[in-house]
Amino acid sequence: MTLSGKRQRGIIDCDVHPYPAHLDEIRHYLREPWKSRYKGGGRGMYDNPVNNGRMDARTPSGGPAGSDPAYLREHHIDLYGIERAILLPRAFCNLYPDPDFATAVAAAFNDWLADNWLDRNNEDSLFKGSITIAHQDPAAAAKEIERWAGHPHFVQVMTDSGARAPFGQRQYYPIYEACAKHGFPLAIHPGTDGVGINIQATPGYPTHFIEWHTLLCTSFMSHLVSFLTEGVFERFPEFRVVLVEGGVSWLPGLMWRLDQNYKALRYEVPWLKKLPSAYLNDHVRFASQPIERPSNDQHLLQIMEMIDAKTILMFASDYPHFDFDSPKYAFPKLPEELHQRIFNENARSFYNL
């Protein structure tokens, strides 16, 4: 089925979250002993104190926001003329200390996503999926990537930014090898930072959710610098990363600092063949939400020029979460070419849509 109307060459939304209507939807795909153990995922002490999901996104029957494909189409896709929606389920499996349990939960979410969103309710190929992995066991994660590599609607691998070590370190290489082999980017999404077995990126634990949420970008900074200085993109030339829900305003200063340090300390990382920032255009993309919106729009436009947004930035709404970025209001008025690149062309090229 071909796209028609305002959805034709419309917006590609790079961060849409589908949810099960009930935990039993996930338990259905789990075997014992995991089936009885599964109680759902969450951030525990850093749960949103207000409501993580938009109240208006709850289904007509009262189900959780993002749990009904038909209503999501009506409430988000059709409203904004979304051409493709990249789905990122929230399994929260990266906080579990038991790697076997974490791997089983990741696999169950992948089965659920394929059965309920990608293989059904998707005749027009609107929904594109993310393969959830548990990075606690990189070898098992690589096998999970292999399991779904031939599926026509999975377009990336995803993991949470919460971890026990920066992602450039070599224990994660089996994941990157599998991603590169099958042409999958790795999407990194916040949510388990400082929760479960994962290290908090800040010096100690924040008191409030607002602190924790504001500082999620520190995890992305750490992982990005690790990817660059450990030489991951030299070791795996076809490997690509997309940073989701980390913002972008911090990127210019971080790259200036890293490039400056590289000029003095390059002997420590001899595997790098160019300035660290020079790897971004070929290997790294950023999903826009939550776009930092200063009171002076010119300041944001200047940052977008600094980061080469026409190449590395892709629109994301984060539907159905509380900090949703509307396609109509998230950005100031953009030049037409830049608008087309951010809202469509960059993602079309990156995901080969």
Q: Could you list the beta-strand ranges (E) of 59-144.
A: 82-87, 127-132
> Looking at residues 49-64, what average pLDDT do you find?
71
Q: Residues 126, 20, 313, CA angle at the centre, nearest 5°? A: 45
Query: In this model, does residue 171 exceed pLDDT 90?
Result: yes
Instruction: Please give the average per-residue pLDDT across 109-119, as a whole number.
Output: 98
State how far the Cα of 93 lies from the Cα of 196, in Å rounded to an integer: 10
Q: Which residues pair with 129 in a beta bridge?
A: 154
43 CB-near residues (< 8 Å, 6+ apart): 92, 191, 192, 195
* Look-up of token digits 């607002």: 210
Query: pLDDT: is 9 or 281 the higher one?
Result: 281
Distance CA 148, CA 113 (A): 12
**What pLDDT, on a 0 to 100 scale, did the predictor assign at position 201?**
86
pTM value surpassing 0.85: yes
What the block records as the tokens of 206 is: 């924040």
Is residue 243 over pLDDT 80? yes
Confidence of residue 53 (pLDDT cuts 50, 70, 90): low
Arithmetic mean of pLDDT, 151-173:
97
Q: What is the mean pLDDT of the chain?
A: 92
Domains of the chain: 11-350 (3.20.20.140)
Q: Where does residue 289 rank: exposed (0-12), middle (13-18), buried (19+ CB within 10 A)?
A: buried
Nearest-angstrom CA–CA distance, 174 and 157 = 13
pLDDT score of 3: 46
**Ranges 4-8, 61-65, 196-200: which has the least confidence:** 4-8
> pLDDT category, 2, cuts 50, 70, 90?
very low
Nearest to 245 by CA among 127, 138, 86, 136: 86
Burial annotation 231-260 (CB, 10 A radius, 16+ → b, else e) = bbbeebeebbbbbbbbbbbbbeebbeebee
Per-residue pLDDT at 172 exceeds 70 = yes
Q: What is the mean pLDDT of residues 296-308?
A: 96
Q: Rounded CA gap, 233 and 272, in Å?
A: 9
pLDDT of residue 8: 55
Q: How far apart are CA 58 and CA 73, in angstroms?
A: 13
Neighbours of 164 (CB within 10 A): 13
Within its chain, how far is the Cα of 232 from the centroid?
Answer: 19
State the pLDDT at residue 196: 87
What value does the mean pLDDT take over residues 268-286?
98
Question: CA–CA separation, 324 vs 317, rounded Å?
Answer: 5
Task: Report residue 52's pLDDT band, with 50, 70 and 90 as the boundaries.
Answer: low
Average pLDDT of the residues in 313-327: 88
Angle between the N-to-C axes of helices 297-306 and 251-265, in degrees from 0 to 180, rounded to the nearest 10: 30
**Which residue is it, tokens 């349990």?**
101
At residue 208, does pLDDT exceed 80? yes
Cα–Cα dist 87/116, whole Å: 12
pLDDT band, residue 57 (cuts 50/70/90): low
pLDDT of 6 higher than 60:
no
Residue 43 pLDDT level (bands cut at 50, 70, 90): low
7 has pLDDT over 70? no
Confidence of residue 55 (pLDDT cuts 50, 70, 90): low
Q: Are strands 127-132 and 186-189 parallel, antiparallel or unpaired?
A: unpaired
Q: If pLDDT is split at 50, 70 and 90, which confidence band does 64 have?
A: confident
Whether residue 62 is predicted with pLDDT greater than 90 in this model: the reply is no
Which neighbouring-strand residues pair with 16?
Answer: 87, 319
Q: What's the rounded mean pLDDT across residues 300-315?
A: 97
d(CA 280, CA 39): 39
Q: What is the pLDDT of residue 154?
A: 99
CA-atom Rg of the chain in angstroms: 19
pLDDT of 1 strictly over 50: no
> According to the model, what pLDDT value does residue 5 have?
45
